[in-house]
Amino acid sequence: MAQGEDLFTHQDTLAQLHENLPLTENLRFIHQIIRQDFPFVDRLAIALFDEKTEILKTYMHSTEGNDSPVTTYEAPLSAAPSLQAIILEKSVDR
């Protein structure tokens, strides 16, 4: 080991998330970090679920490329079988 070498240096990859930036910018940044290891992830979205109506609503998204998805997309949970499977799996784990 070279003299003066700092063994405790750490580059915080997510340091930008501590800055005072809009939530959409933070989501876009997280999407870029994810794509470094998983380049096939073209879209990252946050959706809200209304339990009374069982409707999923896109709150915000980050989409790679020129695609311009509907930003206020909403659909019944029953129209998303993959999400239903995740919910069932999680409820069994409890």
The answer, yes or no, to whether residue 3 has pLDDT greater than 70, is: no
Calculate mean pLDDT across residues 73-81: 88
Question: Can you tell me which residue has the tokens 């997280």?
Answer: 30
3 within some domain: no
How far apart are alpha carbons 89 and 27 in whole angstroms?
26
Q: Check if the beta carbon of residue 88 is closer than 8 Å to that of residue 78.
A: no
Q: What is the per-residue pLDDT across 26-60, written as a single tens digit (0 to 9) for each?
A: 999 999 999 999 999 999 989 898 989 999 998 89
Q: Check if the beta carbon of residue 44 is closer than 8 Å to that of residue 30.
A: yes
76 within some domain: yes
Question: What does the pLDDT read at residue 76?
Answer: 92
| Nearest in space to 71 (alpha carbons), one of 27, 12, 29 | 27
Q: How many domains does the chain contain in total?
A: 1
Question: What does the pLDDT read at residue 94?
Answer: 62
5 within some domain: no
| Phi then psi dihedrals of residue 37, to 5 deg | -100, -25
Q: Which domain holds residue 35?
A: 15-93
59 within some domain: yes
